[in-house]
A and B are shown apart, each in its own frame.
Chain A
Amino acid sequence: MSPYISPLFGLAMGSSVLLISSSTHWVFVWLGLELGTLAFIPMLAWWHSSLEVEATVKYFIIQAMAAAVFFFGGLVMTSTEYISGLSQFVGNFGEVLIMFSIIMKLGLVPFHYWVVDVVQGLNYLPGMVLLTWQKVPGLMVLVQLVSMQNGLILLIFGALSAFWGGLGGLGQTQMRKLLAFSSIAHLGWLVSGCVVGTMLGSMYFILYVVLSIPVFVFLYILNNTHLNQVRASLVSNPVAAMVVGVGFLSLAGLPPFMGFFGKWLVLTWLLNNFLVGGAVALVVGALVSLFYYLRVSYMCMVILGPQQIMVSLSWRKGFMGSLLGGLVVLNLLGLLLVGGISSLSK
């Protein structure tokens, strides 16, 4: 495919978000979602390998089905007053349908099965855009839907996602599958944050994006798809492996890294609203997922065979060196930064 066509797709994806955020009628929201999906599909299948095409087709089917459910939900919402027996728990049936379609689009439990296979099939950079940018349209709709009535369902799904993302990643050694499960877990935290407030959800999302982009980019640079390759690249490019290791620990939410701040915020706000069960469930999920984050960071930082020696440190110079240094510093000191900013705003 010609590389000159990708700005068109990028423009379409950007305008889809603009469309969603600025439209007042749900048909245009649906239009924006569809535009975003359709513009993204060719970028997924860029390299035409069969694995990528298969992943793209899976992604397309899921997103199309979700869009259809969205449209149906919108129709139900604008038609007569369709009240179901569950309306005291979940509100308007149309709203429920739209919410479920967004859950399907984002990849939250119980409609999350596609995320792992799709991200595994794709290369790192399209996978990164899938897990970070393509959440923005869905989240924009989600934060408008959250209300007192469907907050509980979202919280349950969020807690289940945190748990499932933890459990599912335990047996994985493929890095992309690990990142997919980590994304599901983080999405659970994110959605729980959205239940409490839009600002919290957006802050967590920005934090997640800022933390996961270096991890994806550096795994792409190192070209590591399997855990053993990460371990081996510790010798050839130790500091890039270190960024991946530190990035994973940051994603795990361990202090003193910046990723802790997201968990801190979400837990504070959940407890402010007395949602203790949700907080406990999310924490259990975080604990389970800690295992595979720790395993990856072991591979990057801790394990060294007796014969391996340091190669010459050419990584210290140039653009790459300063980028690496900047990213590690960001992770380490970011907690001070965001803590300071948040305390200033109180």
Chain B
Amino acid sequence: MYHLVLGYVGLVMSVWVCDSKVMWRVGQIGGLLLVVPALGLMNLNLFISGVSGAMTSDFMSVALTVLSIWLLPLMLVASQQHMVNEAKFYQRVFIGCQVFLTGGLVLAFLASDLLLFYIAFESTLLPTLMLITRWGAQKERYQAGTYFMFFTMVGSLPLLVCLLGQYQLSGSLALDLMFVGVSKGEYIINFWWLGCVVAFLVKLPLYGTHLWLPKAHVEAPIAGSMVLAGVLLKLGGYGMIRVSYLWGSSALVSGEVILALALWGMISMGAICLRQTDLKSLIAYSSVGHMALVVGGVMTGTAWGYNGAMILMIAHGLVSSCLFSLANSWYERGHTRNLIGSRGLIMLFPLIGFSWLISSLMNLALPPAINLFGELVAMVAVYNWSVYSVAFMSLGAVLTAGYSLYMYGMSQWGNVMKGYKNLYIITSREYLLGLLHLMPAIYLIFYLGLMF
């Protein structure tokens, strides 16, 4: 697996020194080539299937690694249009930022030591901050970046303390071992567990700590939004699953509070989405709602919960990233994200309306999409925890369906807005983006066994 990370180091260096005429192609094609070794890691074993020094790969790691590697060429393809007028040097830094970010993500997912995971987790913060704050379009990007950094750091510094405490008690932080440092009855375990988990809850984001997400998504350029929604949120879910190995069943009681908050988050985020006017903000809040079910699944501590969370994460990563790139396609032409100002798109751009349709339908968890299977599996786990959660989850699912249809209907149907000039035709680049996002999602319907 070192070859994968070294591949990203090499890609950063290639992007840095190559000719400015080919730097976009180098990034895109290099990123695409690096999918091949990642796919080579995919092994259908449930347990740890590969170990190589500081890195290990089991089904969770590999699924998320392939997702993050897959998203790199997509991010570069999506952002090459709006970066056309920037200075060549800054374009190069932009591409380098994204490649570095993906390299850090791969390191995080493949890390076999929790401390290496922590370091890689933190080092993805800075490139994302650069993407949001440096290349965002409005003046609110400064506050968005600050919120992003501080929300995450407030969670992750206690995580460092708790991980090092765990290291002191058990002598190792390797993921191959299952260990519990503190015995079950002591009270300190609640704070310890909370310290470990808050970082990931902020990243996921859980409903109470989600304030940074809409800001960051709205202000970020398309590459930032894609990587945030596609992979960075999943870092939180993955981290929570890994850290829960440390506790076993001793922290399930504390997890119930978080579960309850997550269930409420599903409903409130669904309701908020129905009232959004900003397209990107709508997709951002829908991310919070979907991730709430991931939190719910993980906090049950059951195998179904973890599996459901994993499937949900992959599915949401692909679909949410697709929605953001579609919203960006419109934004580049109409320069608006307002739902009122972006009506009747299916009349203007019918073929990309197919991608809009499929991704909206997958977002609302229509069978046979994998989103549905993820939700179903996670819901079963949460139902096992408490019967009454059915009320919350069903209401949440209905609201999810509601706002997905609302988003599709408001943007695609209705009268075309007058006054837009120069709405150039959808380029094959954008068709490719939609295809490359949705094809893996559709293929996974037929081979869900890859993720179970």
A272-289 residues at the B interface, CB under 8 angstroms? 272, 274, 276, 279-280, 283, 286-287
Q: Are A287 and B168 in contact (CB under 8 A)?
A: no
Q: Are B161 and A256 in contact (CB under 8 A)?
A: no
B117-139 residues at the A interface, CB under 8 angstroms? 118-120, 122-123, 125-126, 129-130, 133-134
Which residues in A have their C-beta under 8 angstroms from that of B89?
A: 310, 313
Which single member of A268, A271, A290 contacts B150 (CB below 8 Å)? A290
Which residues in A have their C-beta under 8 angstroms from that of B168?
A: 268, 271-272, 274
Which single member of B90, B118, B122, B150 contacts A254 (CB below 8 Å)? B122
Number of A-B contacts (CB under 8 A): 75
Q: How far is the CB of A156 from chain B (nearest CB, A)?
A: 18
Q: Is A330 an interface residue (CB 8 A)?
A: no
What string of 1s and 0s marks CB contacts (under 8 Å) between B145-161 and chain A?
Answer: 11001100110011011
Can you name the residue of chain B whose Cβ is closest to the Cβ of A267? B164
Which single member of A256, A268, A291 contacts B164 (CB below 8 Å)? A268
What string of 1s and 0s marks CB contacts (under 8 Å) between A239-281 and chain B?
Answer: 0000000000100001110001001100110011010100110
Tell which of A256, A267, A313 has the most Cβ of chain B within 10 Å: A256
Q: Whole-angstrom distance between the alpha carbons of A310 and B93 in the complex?
A: 13
Q: How far is the CB of A82 from chain B (nearest CB, A)?
A: 38
Q: How far is the CB of B149 from chain A (nearest CB, A)?
A: 6
Q: Is B270 an interface residue (CB 8 A)?
A: no
Q: Is A153 an interface residue (CB 8 A)?
A: no
Q: Is A309 an interface residue (CB 8 A)?
A: yes
Q: Are A267 and B160 in contact (CB under 8 A)?
A: yes
Q: How far is the CB of B77 from chain A (nearest CB, A)?
A: 24
When A254-B125, A283-B158 are in contact, do A298 and B133 touch as well, CB less than 8 Å? Answer: yes
What string of 1s and 0s marks CB contacts (under 8 Å) between B84-106 and chain A?
Answer: 00010110000000000000100
Which residues in B have their C-beta under 8 angstroms from that of A313?
A: 89
Q: How far is the CB of A251 from chain B (nearest CB, A)?
A: 14
Number of A residues with CB within 8 Å of any CB on chain B? 30
Which single member of B123, B134, B158 contacts A304 (CB below 8 Å)? B134
Q: Is A140 an interface residue (CB 8 A)?
A: no
B145-190 residues at the A interface, CB under 8 angstroms? 145-146, 149-150, 153-154, 157-158, 160-161, 164-165, 167-168
Q: Whole-angstrom distance between the alpha carbons of A256 and B154 in the complex?
A: 17
Q: Is B245 an interface residue (CB 8 A)?
A: no
Q: Are A271 and B161 in contact (CB under 8 A)?
A: yes
Which residues in B have their C-beta under 8 angstroms from that of A335?
A: 119
Q: Are B161 and A280 in contact (CB under 8 A)?
A: yes
Q: Are B126 and A283 in contact (CB under 8 A)?
A: no
Which residues in B have their C-beta under 8 angstroms from that of A286?
A: 157
When A255-B119, A287-B153, A294-B146 are in contact, do A271 and B134 touch as well, CB less than 8 Å? Answer: no
Which single member of A255, A263, A280, A302 contacts B145 (CB below 8 Å)? A302
Q: Are B161 and A255 in contact (CB under 8 A)?
A: no
Q: How far is the CB of A66 from chain B (nearest CB, A)?
A: 33
Which residues in B have their C-beta under 8 angstroms from that of A290?
A: 149-150, 153
Which residues in A have their C-beta under 8 angstroms from that of B129?
A: 302
A282-336 residues at the B interface, CB under 8 angstroms? 283, 286-287, 290-291, 294, 298, 301-304, 309-310, 313, 335
Which single member of A279, A291, A303, A310 contacts B161 (CB below 8 Å)? A279
Number of B residues with CB within 8 Å of any CB on chain A? 30
Q: Whole-angstrom distance between the alpha carbons of A301 and B142 in the complex?
A: 12
Q: Whole-angstrom distance between the alpha carbons of A310 and B161 in the complex?
A: 42
Q: Are A310 and B87 in contact (CB under 8 A)?
A: yes
Q: Whole-angstrom distance between the alpha carbons of A279 and B146 in the complex?
A: 24
Q: Whole-angstrom distance between the alpha carbons of A127 and B134 in the complex?
A: 32
Can you name the residue of chain A whose Cβ is closest to the Cβ of B188? A276
When A290-B150, A294-B149, A302-B145 are in contact, do A255 and B157 touch as well, CB less than 8 Å? Answer: no
Q: Whole-angstrom distance between the alpha carbons of A249 and B129 in the complex?
A: 12
Q: Are B134 and A256 in contact (CB under 8 A)?
A: no
Which single member of A249, A271, A287 contacts B157 (CB below 8 Å)? A287
Q: How far is the CB of A262 from chain B (nearest CB, A)?
A: 13
Q: Whole-angstrom distance between the alpha carbons of A5 and B255 in the complex?
A: 68
Q: Are A291 and B150 in contact (CB under 8 A)?
A: yes
Q: Whole-angstrom distance between the alpha carbons of A272 and B149 in the complex?
A: 29
Q: Are A302 and B134 in contact (CB under 8 A)?
A: yes
Which residues in A have their C-beta under 8 angstroms from that of B164?
A: 264, 267-268, 271, 279
Q: Are A256 and B104 in contact (CB under 8 A)?
A: yes
Q: How far is the CB of A334 from chain B (nearest CB, A)?
A: 13
Q: Are A271 and B165 in contact (CB under 8 A)?
A: yes
Q: Are B149 and A309 in contact (CB under 8 A)?
A: no
When A283-B158, A290-B150, A291-B150 are in contact, do A301 and B130 touch as well, CB less than 8 Å? Answer: yes
Tell which of A255, A263, A268, A279 has the most Cβ of chain B within 10 Å: A255
Which residues in A have their C-beta under 8 angstroms from that of B104?
A: 256
A1-28 residues at the B interface, CB under 8 angstroms? none
Which residues in B have their C-beta under 8 angstroms from that of A309?
A: 87
Q: Whole-angstrom distance between the alpha carbons of A104 and B263 in the complex?
A: 54
Can you name the residue of chain A whose Cβ is closest to the Cβ of B122? A255
Q: Are A302 and B130 in contact (CB under 8 A)?
A: yes
Which residues in B have their C-beta under 8 angstroms from that of A263?
A: 160
Which residues in A have their C-beta under 8 angstroms from that of B154?
A: 287
Q: Whole-angstrom distance between the alpha carbons of A227 and B182 in the complex?
A: 47
When A283-B157, A287-B154 are in contact, do A298 and B119 touch as well, CB less than 8 Å? Answer: no
Q: Whole-angstrom distance between the alpha carbons of A249 and B123 in the complex?
A: 11
Q: Whole-angstrom distance between the alpha carbons of A255 and B125 in the complex?
A: 9
Q: Are B134 and A301 in contact (CB under 8 A)?
A: yes
- Interface residue ranges, A against B (CB under 8 Å): 249, 254-256, 260, 263-264, 267-268, 271-272, 274, 276, 279-280, 283, 286-287, 290-291, 294, 298, 301-304, 309-310, 313, 335
13 contacts between A and B (CB under 8 A): A255-B123, A264-B160, A268-B167, A271-B167, A272-B168, A274-B168, A283-B160, A287-B157, A290-B153, A294-B149, A298-B142, A301-B134, A302-B130
The 4 closest A-B pairs by CB, nearest first: A256-B123, A255-B122, A302-B134, A283-B157
If A256-B122, A290-B149, A302-B130 are given as contacts, then 15 extra A-B residue pairs at C-beta distance below 8 Å, sorted by A number, are A254-B122, A256-B126, A260-B119, A267-B160, A267-B161, A267-B164, A268-B167, A271-B161, A280-B158, A283-B158, A294-B146, A301-B130, A302-B129, A303-B134, A304-B134
